[in-house]
Amino acid sequence: MSILKTTVGILAALASTSSIALADWPAFRGPQRDGILRGQSIPLKWSATENVLWRTELPGQGWSSPVVSGQKVYLTAAVPQSGSDGGSGATAFDLNLITLDANTGSMLDTRTVLVQSTDAPRIHSKNSHASPTPIIQGDRIYLHFGHLGTACLTLEGETIWKNESLSYSPVHGNGGSPALAGDLLIFSRDGKDTAVVTALDKHTGKVVWETTRDVEASRKFSFCTPLLATLGGREQLILPGSNVVQSLDPVDGSELWRVRYDGYSVIPRPIVDSGLVFVATGYNRPSLLAIDPTGSGDVTETHLKWKEKTSVPHTPSLIALGGSVAMVSDKGIASCLDSSSGDLKWKLRVGGNFSASPVLYGTRLLLQDEQGVCSVIDLSAANPEILHTNELGERTLASFAVYENTLLLRSDKALYRISE
């Protein structure tokens, strides 16, 4: 694959997100990968019985978010194989792609893409074997199952390619979703002993480039999803990991800049606001970093604009409000900081525990907790307050998707389509 071809493809990818059909929600956090809803309205009140257009029971386990193309919803699940333990107590899983009719919720197709054997490393109690969210582009869907492999299928379920050659030892399972950059499918492999960023040819599944983190970290494992953005006149791939966030040239994986910090098990996807990149640094105590992305090399001492340590999330991604950044901590504290200065603008105790990333609809911020409760925050008030509290009654760790002015919400039991 030529560098010229890859560069042209990346520029096209950056421009194409604005032309995606309104009904489509093709990736983790939506068309722009930022959780901000544009051109649609969504319901703000619901319960297990109110404003539910349909509810479809799902097989197996999975915390990947649903993605939508046309009138179909796609999501992954790890389905236990019957009798696979042979009396050992271990379970093998079929790693499936599930397709549903977006209008009726009926199950259209289930395809086993890969298999998780009985000797798999243990996962965290809040994780699944199907947590990374797929990506749809055109008539292709890209599925990533971390150390188990990656695959490309048509939207009708035909396998185009699989790559099961990039195994590594995960810690707590897999979580980070991949990102598309031109002709490349990019993801991180941050496990027990491995800290590598990998780019595959999206047409063939073959490795195009790999970049090591090249940082000292006693705990290398992290679960972050890459962010592709044009910053400072350069196409940049922002990838936080343990003890470092790197900006890479997506064409060849060369490092543009890095910022060092103390942190591991990094999960929140970076966001961009007011020309700055915002990164949460993971465990044990996360900090929020505001980084000027125009530098080169190690810019820890020169381009870190400010840092905040209060109420920063370990798991949910942040949301850009245009001049400010909002977030909800895993312990249910919502807050908003000025993008340029880091000054606190407001703070609100929501309660609950959070893993899902927020969605912004106009002046309404939707925060979905792990117990099935969604708090709708009114940002138009001088002091933001909870406008509605919606209780589903089922465990919810996956982030929202949106389809034709409705919400798609995955629980541990089912997929809901919520409509007023």
Residue 343 pLDDT exceeds 60: yes
Tens of pLDDT, residue by residue over 157-179, are: 999 999 999 989 899 989 999 99
Question: Mean pLDDT over all residues of the chain?
Answer: 93
Phi, psi of 99 (to 5 degrees): -120, 130
Percent of the chain with pLDDT over 70: 93
Nearest-angstrom CA–CA distance, 327 and 308? 12
Overall average pLDDT of the 66-70 stretch: 97
Phi, psi of 395 (to 5 degrees): -70, 135
Residue 258 pLDDT exceeds 70: yes
> In the chain, how many domains are there?
1
Q: What is the per-residue pLDDT for 239?
A: 97
- 255: amino acid identity, one letter: E
Residue 86 pLDDT exceeds 70: no
Three-state SS for 62? coil
Q: Which of 112-121, 246-255, 345-354 has the lowest mean pLDDT?
A: 112-121
Q: Which of 13-27, 90-104, 286-300 has the lowest mean pLDDT?
A: 13-27
Contact 355, 345 (CB under 8 A): no
**In which element (H, E) is residue 225 found?**
none
Q: What is the per-residue pLDDT for 161?
A: 99
CATH for 39: 2.130.10.10
Q: What is the per-residue pLDDT for 399?
A: 98
Tens of pLDDT, residue by residue over 4-44, are: 554 555 454 444 444 455 569 999 999 999 999 999 999 99
The tokens describing 247, both together, are: 């900006």
| Residue 376 CB partners (closer than 8 Å, separation 6+) | 44, 45, 364, 365, 366, 367, 386, 387, 388, 389, 390
Q: Which domain holds residue 126?
A: 3-418
Q: What is the per-residue pLDDT for 89?
A: 56
Q: What is the per-residue pLDDT for 370?
A: 98
Contact 302, 324 (CB under 8 A): no
Phi, psi of 17 (to 5 degrees): -65, -25
| Residue 369 CB partners (closer than 8 Å, separation 6+) | 332, 350, 351, 352, 353, 354, 356, 375, 396
Three-state SS for 142? strand
Q: What is the per-residue pLDDT for 120?
A: 72
> Which of the four pLDDT bands, split at 50, 70 and 90, describes residue 127?
confident
Overall average pLDDT of the 332-349 stretch: 98
- 231: amino acid identity, one letter: L
Overall average pLDDT of the 327-333 stretch: 98
Q: What is the per-residue pLDDT for 84?
A: 63
E-strand ranges in 249-399 read: 255-260, 271-273, 276-280, 288-291, 297-298, 304-308, 319-320, 324-328, 333-338, 344-349, 359-361, 364-368, 373-378, 385-391
The one-character DSSP state at 35 is S
| Residue 155 CB partners (closer than 8 Å, separation 6+) | 69, 70, 72, 74, 136, 139, 140, 141
Tens of pLDDT, residue by residue over 146-157, are: 999 999 999 999
Cβ burial, residue 62 (10 Å; 0-12/13-18/19+) = buried
Nearest-angstrom CA–CA distance, 318 and 324? 11
Overall average pLDDT of the 204-229 stretch: 95
Q: What is the per-residue pLDDT for 408?
A: 98
